[in-house]
Amino acid sequence: MSREKRKQRMSEHYEEALHNVEIILNTIHKMELKRDIIDAKYLDNDLESRYYDLEIGLALCGIIIRKLDESSFIKITGEFRKNINVLIHSNDLKYLKETKEIIVYSKTTNSQLSLAEFVLECQQIFNNLLII
């Protein structure tokens, strides 16, 4: 496969994964707004499913970012690389709706990260892929 075709396919999958994370976050926000309308046991059950979707979506974004890095299309370093590794190797995730942060649990560590900052950095990576 040509390098350009590889980059194109990875970029398309990354765009889809990032879009799915944004949809999940929007759905969680809309569900939280209905807390006074919908019985808590039903809402919490549906929210639990969305949190699992979020965990999987974030890990998928992380995997694609790592593939992009390994293929030398992008360069990730420092804290962002650490956050990606934590998301990929997580075994649980807790969403903190007040601060819009998540606590990611794994066998070796618990990490708290800002969803807004993580998604923004993911979006910047995507925008840079379009330029390169």
- CA distances, 14 to each of 37, 107, 125 (Å): 35, 27, 10
pLDDT score, position 64 = 96
Predicted confidence at residue 97, as pLDDT, reads 79
pLDDT of residue 56: 94
Local confidence pLDDT in tens for the 132 residues of the chain = 799 999 999 999 999 999 999 999 999 999 989 888 888 888 999 999 999 999 999 999 999 999 999 999 999 988 899 889 889 988 888 888 788 888 888 888 888 888 888 999 999 998 888 776
DSSP assignment letter at 111 = E
Total domain count for the chain?
Answer: 1
Question: Which of 59, 54, 63, 72 minimizes the C-alpha distance to 129?
Answer: 72
| Containing structural domain, residue 23 | 3-131
pLDDT value for 129: 82
pTM for the model stands at 0.89
pLDDT of residue 15: 95
Q: What pLDDT sits at residue 21?
A: 95
